[in-house]
Structure 1
């Protein structure tokens, strides 16, 4: 356990940020799973735009790496394009 007040505060801040980041990542993962399970192309395209925005937002905030966001968007685009 930290002894200094500033270290204690830093620990509290880190815990808050970890919870926030975890929930945001979890929300996006759930949307991705939903998108992959869809069979209707129109619904999938609509959800794809939402997911792409979320991935960009996570990358901009540094929660996930920019390249990881780009790779996921690319794979999801291919998946949606393959739908009928």
Structure 2
């Protein structure tokens, strides 16, 4: 157990951040999963804007790395382009 007041506060802050980061990471994974399941090109393109913004934000806030955000955005863009070609 922590002996200093500042260490106790740090533990509280870390637990709060972990909980918040887990929530946003799970929300992001669900959004990516739903976008990959999308078959309508118009809806997929609309959702891509939202998911892309979410990925950028989480990358900036270090919930996920910036490279992971870029890789996911790239793969999702490829998926949407395939939908447009198949249409």
Tell me the TM-score normalized by structure 2: 0.93
Instruction: Please report how far the alpha carbon of residue 44 of structure 1 lies from its aligned counterpart in structure 2 after TM superposition.
Output: 0.4
Find runs of 4+ consecutive structure 1 residues off by over 6 angstroms.
none
> Which sections of structure 2, spanning at least 5 residues, go unmatched?
none
Number of equivalent positions: 84
- What is the aligned partner in structure 2 of residue 69 from structure 1? 69
- What is the aligned partner in structure 1 of residue 81 from structure 2? 81
Q: Say whether 1:40 aligns with 2:40.
A: yes
- What is the aligned partner in structure 1 of residue 27 from structure 2? 27
Q: Say whether 1:7 aligns with 2:3.
A: no
Q: 2 CA distance for matches of 1:68 and 1:12?
A: 28
Q: CA RMSD in A?
A: 0.7
Tell me the TM-score normalized by structure 1: 0.96
